[in-house]
Amino acid sequence: MKKITEKKERSLGVRLFLKAERCNSPKCVMVRRPTRPGQHGQRRHTVSEYGKQLQEKQKIQFLYGLTNRQMTKLFQSSNRKEKILQVLEHRLDRVVFLLGFAASPRISRQLISHGHVLVNGRKVTIPSFRVRIKDIISIRPESRSLKLFEEIQLKLKKYSSPEWLKLFPEELKGECVKNFDPGQSQLPFDVNIVGEFYSR
């Protein structure tokens, strides 16, 4: 799995933080081997307009764990950049990751599907669940003794969540206090280019 995810990042030329804390360390593949994978990876490649659209589409897919069907449905439902980004950033798996409860988006999806995450006190096992304003996201009390969460409170005390989410480190919970604002965040993809791909 590690080699596959690292190849994805190298082929797209961007850090997607698919490998948890490794992506913030000198061991990150984009630091050690920033060229494309394969024997011709160091050569310059001229990317066509379609190729650019495909690359941006793949960045979203890998970052949020979406299938082609989910991507098509998302971009057919709206052509507004702000709306699409809000749908993506308000996914439960994304919120759990942004609150610092999981070290990577992939681990976040696993936590949810294994029943370790509560929304407003109820267990939710669907990673794509839409988090809304005033929703409380927390780690299930019965799960907090697991090795996975051993040092999480110490890490969270040094962690700053995005301003649209409020974190309560001691209680292992967070709240969505407002909608995600695309203008105040830098994401590693251009949603407008992906929109062009689906409007062909």
The structural domains of the chain, with segments of one domain joined by +, span 2-33+48-88, 91-176
The whole-model pTM stands at 0.78
Structural domain 91-176, CATH architecture: Roll (3.10)
pLDDT of residue 24: 55
pLDDT of residue 173: 96
Residue 165 tokens, joined: 């989410």
In the predicted structure, residue 22 carries a pLDDT above the cut 70: no
- Cα R_g (the chain), whole angstroms: 18
Residue with tokens 């809000």: 86
Contact 108, 94 (CB under 8 A): yes
pLDDT of residue 1: 46
Average per-residue pLDDT for the chain:
84
pLDDT of residue 26: 58
Per-residue pLDDT of 133-189, as tens digits, reads: 999 999 999 999 998 898 898 899 899 999 999 999 999 999 999 999 988 778 888
Contact 79, 192 (CB under 8 A): no
In the predicted structure, residue 115 carries a pLDDT above the cut 80: yes
Reduced to 3 states (helix: H, G, I; strand: E, B; else coil), residue 173 is: strand
Q: Which CATH superfamily is domain 2-33+48-88 in?
A: Ribosomal protein S4/S9, N-terminal domain (1.10.1050.10)
Exposed, middle or buried, 42 (CB in 10 Å: 0-12/13-18/19+)?
A: exposed
- Greatest CA span in the chain, whole angstroms? 53
* Confidence label for 20 from pLDDT (cuts 50, 70 and 90): low
In the predicted structure, residue 32 carries a pLDDT above the cut 80: no
In the predicted structure, residue 2 carries a pLDDT above the cut 50: no
Q: Is pLDDT larger for residue 4 or for residue 171? A: 171
Contact 137, 174 (CB under 8 A): yes
Per-residue pLDDT of 60-78, as tens digits, reads: 998 999 999 999 999 988 8
pLDDT of residue 19: 58
